[in-house]
Each structure stands twice: as structure tokens, then as C-alpha cells.
Chain A
Amino acid sequence: MTNHWVDIKNTDLVLIMGGNAAEAHPCGFKWVTEAKAHRKARLIVVDPRFTRSAAVSDYYAPIRAGTDIAFLGGVINYLLTHDRIHHEYVKNYTDSSFLVKDEFAFENGLFSGYNPEKRSYDRSSWGYQIGEDGYARVDPTLQHPRCVFQLMKAHYSRYTPEMVATICGTPQAAFLKVCETIAETAAANKTMTIMYALGWTQHSVGSQMIRTGAMVQLLLGNIGAPGGGMNALRGHSNIQGLTDLGLLSDLLPGYLTLPRDAEQGFDAYIGKRASKPLRPGQLSYWQNYNRFHVSLMKAWFGDAATAENNWCYDWLPKMDKGYDLLQVFEDMGQGKVNGYVCQGFNPLGSAPCKVKVSNSLSKLKFLVIIDPLATETSEFWQNHGEYNDVDPTKIQTEVFRLPSTCFAEEDGSLINSGRWMQWHWKGAEPPGDALADQQIMAGIFLRIRALYQKEGGAFPDPVLNLTWKHKVPSFPSPEELAREFSGKALKDVTDPKDPARVLVKAGEQLNGFGELRDDGSTACGCWIFAGAWSEKGNLMARRDNADPFGIGQTLNWAFAWPANRRILYNRASCDPSGKPYDPTRKLIAWDAGVGKWTGADVPDFVADSAPENGMNPFIMNPEGVARFFAVDKMAEGPFPEHYEPFETPLAANPLSPGNPLVRSSPAARVFKDDWATFGKADKFPFVATTYRLTEHFHFWTKHARLNAITQPEQFVEIGEELAKEKGIKAGDHVRVKSNRGHIVAVAVVTKRIMSLNVNGKRTHTVGIPLHWGFMGLAKNGYLTNTLTPFVGDGNTQTPEFKAFLVDVEKV
């Protein structure tokens, strides 16, 4: 979240789209009811289903699953054609005035530089025009035909209300009602918050859906403002912490990135990431990349990391390709993977296309399960009748099950969607032989290290030199690990403006990432967490909910990364002269008297940079402003374009009907054998989407009796129109088939799933909750991902769980 849960109470309008906050985040949803109660805020829900969020909304609009870019592109078109934007904000705080290279083009659904064989783009034309001074060229009047504003306007002019209705199936009147309500927040003193979740991320164009939402928010001036923002509601407790700590295959902690194969030289690796400002007077904070990276290497390798060996740069893997979930299971299926460790992960249930996952797991030599529960994955080799019909005699994979603690049985920090790092204390001792995850990992590490010490090996250095200074080496404590990720001074750290002044003494915990150095004098395991555990102690354990400004920022409650800042880009809540756009919701402001930005939040800015210096609010970007034009950052192109899901009821993309290359995303990776597994609309005519129910959490809570009581048995939801067509009554058992398999479940027949007119054809949706499986206390059921396609987002490879095709029949 750019903002945070409590801040939602400051909003005037809540748009829930690509998520179902009331159902998946019921506790956080209380802040929506606060906004409704105390600010008379309105709630709009746009979703393929009339959800429990819709049940308490002021307005609901239906949409076909997988078409959110078309809808939001239509909103952008509405805001631009009706001139309902926050002009000062758009002009000053976005790249709207930047001129784009002449070579950049968009034609027939494709951006310039497409290579159909590789299914990817040469992105070199996707950039700004750079002037002789080395800065990007701009036209502050926004009239230049190559300026981002004009290009954006032209791009989204195709997203008319008629086109939105054609693609999304949303009735025009409903779409326009949503546009009209959203447009009201273009006023400087009105904000809208967008709450989204996996309903946007789990598409082959999921990242671009989110970007389109962000563009709407930028046009309205809602980024950085209290009650505004783009608010990703994370799907798992601490999944925010997972991404922050870099537990993705191509990331290092704190959103630093692993080098690619071509990046063998350290200086080039750093140089590419430490972007210089693209406009005069801008901060471009990533210029400090080296400080974050070197401090990370010092945390990992201690004295072994030196300037001479480029801080052990050669020890880092150089990636030949991504090693995301889909890639790993593809490789596993090809017999290229010997062993796999599932730590708190149930891929047989959580990964798409169960048959492929099961076949892949069967080719492993060994599989390690670290989990508090008996997961389906740990039983993938067992025959569980119709729910897991495999032959154990044909599966040779050796499975090790290592019982671990669950979150309530351990101390540590959890990071919520609002980036709050909150320390927690265990509520109970773990049962039986369960060990904490770090105990299990330490056990594995110490044994491997001993093997390397004894036997040598091809490349022992990173293992032998890994920092491991724990009081109990076999059980690193959460406190030790937290101090490590927060960071400490290895030598005295001095003030660059006054080298005689020592900021932090050698051996002391750092106060924040401003103290990180690239000369090896600091160690920090995750730069964005710096300061969470300073010499003042464990700031994550703070529980002071005082709110002196009455705007819900509670700076002494836990610790929010970065720098305890609660609302990102909060400089943008003020006008260029430093005055809050809405004085009644003042977050920060320029105080000329003291020469500082002050207020209810930690300024996301150089604290003493006066407005007249002209530094812009988006200090992480080299532009200093937010991007409508994503330059070369996104796989599909600089402007989000609607592409159909990989399984779609449509024969062509209505935006570019003549180009078969762009029916679905031209930049999504599809493995060779998976093309044949995609179903077609003639056999599988209905749009399916998977989702959670409020009564359950993923595949965990079917193991808990209370949850099983409140939602005991697998079901699918179908609309009344489809039910009538198929002769299905509520409570009947139905078989839902995709081209990859089938499930059988009870039918819930409901008005809440509406049939829509899409591209001139009546289109039905099948809703498939995902919580069931063949382990646990709830009634056994099928794993929903038996049905889903093995394809992901072109940038993140997050699987397309939210839109695919099925057929339904009564059993």
C-alpha cells in the first residue's frame, strides 16, 4: 500500500476493484466503514461477482473477469475528454510534459519493437527524448504531439464507453455512473482510495491492470494524499515481508535486483541501477544503490566482502532467466530439478494446472516439506480417490516432512499491507516435534557448511563465509535476525558535511538508511528496514497509538518502512508551494520558519529542501515525477493496453480485431507444451474465476474445525440464467471442466453472478472458491487449481488464476 489501513478512514471514495476487501480482509475493512461513518465516504465495487464487499457498497458495477484495463482505460478516457483531472498535479508531479522518442509507436495493438518469435519487445524506443543537457525534454504546455499527455490521450481515446461495454460487458450506464463518481475526486480537496488484491495481480496482464489504476489516481491527484493511494491488500500474513526481504527469484532484499548473465562487471551492474536525475534539481534516490548493495554484502559476508573483491560481487548468481514458480515447475517437469524445498508453501494446491504440478513433483528425487500442517503437496504421491487419483507405485520421489511452528508459536516481526513492521510474541509453545523455521534452516545450513569444510567442493566460498554469529548457532533468534536486517555501523559513521561529527559509533545499530555507506563501514540486511531496530531498541515492538494530529498516522506504533513513513509520496499532498491541497487533512507542509517539512507524517522528501528549489515529490524516480509512460519498465509496453486472458470467449481483441498476435498479451511467456493445454470457447464457453471466501484462509483453515463448520463443503457459483439453461438447481452437484481437468462441487445458484453482454454475445461466469482439498477437517474436495492455466503475468509471472474458460454440467 502507498498508504495504510488506518488512513482509509480519511478518504471520500473507496473503489474496490480487483479485490474483495470485506471478504478477504474483514478486519482492515473496518476502516472503510469508518470513512463511511465519519466522512460520508461512498464505496464503489467493480467485480465479476456481487461480493460481500458489494453487499455494503453504495454502487456496484459488474465486469467480465480479465477486462479491468479496458474498464480503467475507459475511465482515463472519460477523465481526459471531460477534463476532470487535477491539472496542477498532473502538470507538475507527473511525466505528462515529457517528450517521447519519435521512434516510439503504437499500432494495431502492438508497441514499437515487437519480436513475434521471441514474444517480447526491444524496448529501446520506449523512452524520453534526451536534450543536449542530458535531461529529458519537456513541454510544460502539454501541447506537443510527442508529449506523454498527448500520447496518452490518443492511446485511451479508443477506450470509449461503447468499447468498454463491448469488452467488459458492463452496461454503459453503470460504467458512466462509476466514472462520474470517480471524477468528483479530481477536486484538490477530495480523494479516492483504490483497494485491490489478487483480483488484479493474478492475470496475464495483472501488473498493467495495477498500473492503469495508478494512472487514474495520478490524473485525479490522489497519490500521496491522505485517503488516497494505490493500496495493495496483501493475500497472506507477511507476504509484504516476503517481497520486502526479496524472497522472489530475481530480487535481493529491499527491492535490489540480482544481476543478469550479461552483467558480469560490478560497476556496470551498479551504474545501471543508480540512475542519474532526468531533470534538473531532482533527487533520484536510487543513486544511492551502491550504499544499499554494499551494506547488504557486508551483512552477508562480513570481513570477506572488501572493496578489492567488489564486495563479493562474483559470489552472486547471475541469472540466465527468471526462476519463478512456473519456470521451476516447467524445469522440474523436464527432469532438470533434483530436489525441491517447500517452506510454508503448498504448490499442489497453490500453483496452476495440478496435473502438471503433480507430474513435475513426481520427477523429483526428493521433496522437503517445512510446514505446520499436513499439506496436499506432502501427500501428492498418495492416492486420495477422485481428489488425487495417482498411483504411488509409479512415484519415486522421497518426501521429507519437517513439522514447523505456526506464526502464533514464535516471536518475530510481521509486515502488514501498510508496510508496518509489527513485532509479535508467541501465544503458545509448538506441539510435538515442531521446530521454528530458522532452527530447521540453521540445521540444514550447519550440516552443509560442515560438509564443505570437510570435503571442499566446487564453490565453497559463499557458504563458508556467510555471517553466522548467533549465540546459539543452531537456533538464530528473531531478535538477532531483526538487528541484522536493520543494520549496524562496522566503523564510526560520520556526517558527510562535518567529518568530525560521528553519527553512529562502530558497533551501534543504525538509525536509518541515510547512514548507510558504500565503503564497507556499514552492514544492513535490508536497506528499507534500516532503523527498525536502532540504539533506541526494537521500534517494531512499539504500541503507542497516540494520534496527535487526529489523522491516523500514529508514528509511535510499530515501525513503517521506509523511515517510519506512513504515506508514500506524501510531498504530493501539497501544492508546489508546499501548502496542503486539503488543509483539513494536513499531512505535511513546508514550514518556512524552521526551514523544514513538518507535520503528522515523516516527509517523503528531503526534509530541508524548500519548495522553490523545484525538487519534485517522486524522489525515487530519476524524473522526479510519477510516470504515466512506463518507459522500458514493463514487458507489455509503456501504456497499459487491454489484452484478453489466454483463455477468452472472444475470437479477437475488440480493440485490434485484425491482429491475432494481440488477442492475448503478446509479451507473456508461454512454455511450448502449454499452448496445447489452453481451452477454446467452443468446448469451454464460460468464463471462470477463482477466489477466496471470508470463512477460510487459503488451504490452511480447512484444518480448523470452527472454519470447517462455517463453510464445510466445496461449491461453485453460477448465475440464475446459466443455471436455467443447464437445468441446474441450487444444491445440485455439478462438474466443472477445463481443458486441464475437472472438479465436482455443489452448485450455488445466485443472482450475484450476472450474465453479461460481451461483444454482442451473452456471456456467463462461473465462480470457483479455492479452499478445498483432500487434507483437513472440512469435507474433502478437489483442488481448484486442477482447472487453471499454466501462464503468468509478463512481468511477475503471477499465474492467471482469475480468468479462464470452463464448461459446466449437472452430475
Chain B
Amino acid sequence: MALQSLDIKARSATTTPPPRVRDPIHVAKLIDISKCIGCKACQVACMEWNDLRDEVGTNTGIYDNPRDLTAQSWTVMRFSEVEVEQGRLEWLIRKDGCMHCEDPGCLKACPAPGAIVQSVNGIVDFHQEHCIGCGYCITGCPFDIPRLSKKDSKVYKCTLCSDRVAVGMEPACIKTCPTGALVFGTKGDMIRHAEGRIADLKERGYANAALYNPEGVGGTHVMYVLQHGDQPELYANLPKDPHISPLVSLWKGIAKPLMSLGIGLAVFAGFFHFVTAGPKEVEEEEERP
């Protein structure tokens, strides 16, 4: 959707320059895992605000429900039982969903003009009306987030409540979080808030507490405070050093110029043919009805 106050910085398969009349504000959601009680209120708020209702599933032997992200579930809690220190159990509960990368692999991979956009404020949003359902964005995502709907063959994910943010509201999950594990603001403020949380965690014995804002994707607009910042993979396999898949680089880096070359060659061949063979001439009778 077009939201007047969300200036679009990048648009899939498009080279139109972005608007620049406003000074950008970079937003971010900070997920403090050390404060998360796994209540799933954010999941419910997400379903309510975005008018989504996933299936009533089954229990597969763990607390995670729905079991995975789907076109109807844009955020899920992932529960991990770990013993980092011998004999000291921890239950790490990570809210999973789109990270809103500064360098979004999905957008890079997307061949459909305008199906994926990135706002100046950092939100990466899918515009399903332009989506062709090719699934390249799924390949492009280093966090395995977008999900293809079986119902309409379009891809869905967290919008960071771009519709709410555009009118000055915080995302629905932030509003509902009872413990303040989820906070939202400018990226600078969120980094400063995280620094305070990390100092507190270090004082409580988590020597490796750190902010997760991975450089491999240019930083993210959804960040985590991790008690064990040195081992993000403890948190349901949060990637330690995420990068955009080489397949996307292949598509955009080598394959795309090659294809452009191919198209250019075709045009050139056609022109050459025109020059050498002249225009195709049509018999007069054939034009008559």
C-alpha cells in the first residue's frame, strides 16, 4: 500500500530514484530476550491487527505454536532449552519474524516490480498485489522468514505494522507486550536502550550479553538483546553471521547482467536483421477482413 508518510527508498526490480524531501528517521524494534516470558501476546496482537487467523494446529511435543511461521502467522515464539553453564538450565524464548534488514535479500531477489519495497525508515514491506509468487524472496532471505500462501500463491511476512508506524503508532506487538521485552523507537534510541540492558545483564553474570544487529545484512531494524551474544545459534538457530544467499548474488550479480546482455543481443540481432533484410512486408490481401 502507498502510505504518504512512508517514503519508499527501494522498490524491487525498479530503478526510479526515491523521494528525498523528508529527513529520514530510522526506526527499530528491540526484542529483549532476557525479559521475554513467552506469553505469545505479541502473536495474538499480530493476528488481531493484521486480521489473520491461522489454523488450530497440533502439539508436536514442544511449546511452539503455531509450529512455524506461515502466511497467517507472521511472528512465532521459538523456545530453546539450553545449558550454557553445566547444571544451569535456561529457557531462551525468541520471538521470530522479519528482521527488516538494511540490505534486504528479499527485495534484492524479487523480480516483480514493486512487490517488495523498503521505506526510508527501514521497514521492508511486501505489496502482495504485485507479487507473482515466484518465491525468490524466500531464497533471498537469510533468516528464512517469508512464507508462500497456498491460498493465493503470494508471499507474506511481518510488515513491522507499517500501517501503524505511518500514522505514528508503535507496532501491535510492541503495544501488547506486558513486560517491556519489546520496545520500538528510532534505531539510535533502541541501541542506547540495549546498551543499558546489556550492562544490567553483565552485572547479573551474563558476561557475553550483546546486541544482535548483524552487519552481514547492513544491520537490521529488528534487533535482539541476547544474554549469550557470542552464541546466537542457541536461540533456535539465529544465524551467527547472516548474509544474503549467493544465489541472489548470482541472480543479481552475474545472471542478471548476462540476461540483460542476452536481451541486448536479441535487440541487436533484430535491428541487424531489419537493416539487412528490411521491414517485413505484408501482402495486401491478408490485411483485408
Contacts and interface: CB of A to CB of B under 8 A. Distances in A.
A714 interface: yes
Contacts of B59: 711-715, 731, 746, 748
Given A709-B66, A752-B89, A26 B41 contact: yes
B35 A746 contact: no
Interface of B: 34-41, 43-44, 47-48, 53-63, 65-66, 81, 83, 89-93, 178-181, 200, 203-204
Given A50-B89, A706-B44, A749-B61, 7 more contacts: A26-B37, A27-B178, A56-B35, A709-B56, A713-B58, A748-B63, A750-B81
Which of A56, A694, A713, A754 counts the most chain B CB atoms within 10 A? A56
A746 B81 contact: no
Interface in A42-84: 50, 52-56, 58, 60
Interface string A118-132: 000000000000000
Interface residues on A, range: 35 or more
B200 A37 contact: yes
Contact of A55 (B38, B41, B44, B58): B38
A608 B75 CA distance: 58
A337 B63 CA distance: 43
B83 A751 contact: yes
B44 A748 contact: no
A438 interface: no
A709 B41 CA distance: 12
Given A52-B37, A55-B38, A730-B62, A709 B57 contact: yes
Contacts of A751: 81, 83, 89
A56 B91 CA distance: 8
A33 interface: yes
Contacts of B34: 56
A55 B180 CA distance: 15
Contacts of A747: 61
A22 interface: yes
Chain B interface main SS type: loop
Contacts of A754: 89
17 contacts: A22-B179, A23-B37, A26-B37, A27-B178, A30-B178, A56-B179, A694-B39, A694-B40, A709-B54, A709-B57, A715-B61, A731-B59, A748-B61, A751-B83, A752-B81, A752-B89, A752-B91
Contacts of B62: 730, 748
Contact of B37 (A694, A707, A730, A777): A694
7 residue pairs, one from A and one from B, having the closest CB atoms: A730-B61, A731-B61, A22-B37, A55-B91, A713-B59, A26-B39, A746-B59
Nearest to A171: B87
Contacts of A27: 178
Nearest to B41: A26
Kindly name the residue among A22, A706, A713, A715 whose own CB sees the greatest number of chain B CB atoms within 10 A: A706
Interface in A1-56: 22-23, 26-27, 29-30, 33, 36-37, 40, 50, 52-56
A26 B61 contact: no
B56 A26 contact: no
A732 B37 contact: no
A708 B58 CA distance: 10
A695 interface: yes
A385 B57 CA distance: 21
Contacts, number: 122
A50 B91 contact: yes
A363 interface: no
Interface in A681-740: 694-695, 705-715, 729-732
Contacts of A749: 61
A779 interface: yes
A261 B81 CA distance: 57
B129 to A, nearest CB: 27
Contacts of A60: 89
A695 B178 CA distance: 14
A37 B93 CA distance: 19
A33 B180 contact: yes
Contacts of A750: 81
Given A26-B178, A777-B56, A710 B91 contact: no
A720 to B, nearest CB: 10
A214 interface: no
A58 B38 CA distance: 17
Contacts of A732: 61
Contact of A712 (B44, B47, B56): B56
Contacts of A215: none
B90 to A, nearest CB: 7
A55 B48 contact: no
A373 interface: no
Contacts of B92: 55
A54 B90 CA distance: 8
A749 B62 CA distance: 8
Nearest to A54: B91
Contact of B204 (A22, A50, A58): A58
Contacts of B179: 22, 26, 29-30, 33, 56
Nearest to B88: A60
Contacts of A694: 37-40
B202 to A, nearest CB: 12
Given A29-B178, A705-B53, A751-B89, A52 B39 contact: yes
B65 to A, nearest CB: 6
Contact of A710 (B40, B81, B83, B93): B40
Nearest to A42: B204
A712 B38 CA distance: 16
B203 A40 contact: yes
B44 A710 contact: yes
A778 interface: yes
Contacts of B39: 22-23, 26, 52, 694-695
B40 to A, nearest CB: 5
B205 to A, nearest CB: 8
Contacts of A705: 53, 56
Contacts of A712: 56-59, 65
A710 B43 contact: yes
A748 B226 CA distance: 26
Contact of B38 (A52, A713, A748): A52
B178 A56 contact: no
Contacts of A708: 56
Contacts of A37: 180, 200
B48 A729 contact: no
Given A23-B37, A33-B35, A695-B40, A709 B58 contact: no
B155 to A, nearest CB: 21
Nearest to B77: A710
B40 A55 contact: no
Contacts of B41: 26
Contacts of A40: 200, 203
A29 B37 contact: yes
Contacts of B36: 55-56
Contacts of B56: 705, 708-709, 712, 777-779
Nearest to A37: B200
A538 B181 CA distance: 36
